[in-house]
Amino acid sequence: MRIDLVTIIVDDYDHAIGFFVDTLGFDLVEDSPSRTNDGRPKRWVVVRPPGGETGILLARADGTEQSAAVGNQIAGRVGFFLRVDDFDAAHERMVAAGVEFVTVPRTEPYGRVAVFTDIAGNRWDLLGPP
């Protein structure tokens, strides 16, 4: 048993793909046309960190309720965790790519950590070895 996908609601597919693929270095696993239950066009967009098992379904907000959730899917908490082997190199690369970090790197019992936001405003932990 495993978790295959999690969903992040975004404003725009292409901007989100750009952030996750070009900025964070994720793989674009799939970008296929699809339809909503009532027949409107949408896309099935999946990104995944290289070597990762769980992917992220990038879902464009559809309607007022979903639009209100963009960037706040976890009510302001860190909801996503990106584990890397070389924290300092990953942090430096992400800063150079324009990723917004909301905390400075620190060392915790579970490893090196810094909080950053994705293109939608959701909070992530960048995690590395202690």
Instruction: Note the pLDDT tens digit of each residue in 90-105.
Output: 999 999 999 999 999 9
**Do the two domains 1-70 and 73-130 of this chain adopt the same fold?**
yes
Is residue 94 within a helix (H) or strand (E), and if so which, with residue range?
helix 87-96
Residues 125, 107 contacting (CB under 8 angstroms): no
| Candidate CATH numbers 3.90.226.10, 2.30.30.60, 3.10.180.10, 3.30.420.480; the one for domain 1-70 | 3.10.180.10
pLDDT at 38: 87
Q: What is the pLDDT averaged over residues 53-74?
A: 94
73-130 CATH fold: 2,3-Dihydroxybiphenyl 1,2-Dioxygenase; domain 1 (3.10.180)
Q: Where are the domains of the chain?
A: 1-70, 73-130
Nearest to 23 by CA among 7, 3, 47, 6: 47
pLDDT at 55: 97
Exposure on the CB side of residue 57, measured as CA atoms within 13 A? 12
Residues 130, 118, 35, CA angle at the centre, nearest 5°?
A: 130
pLDDT digits (tens, 9 = 90+) for 65-123: 999 999 999 999 999 999 999 999 999 999 999 999 999 999 999 999 999 999 999 99
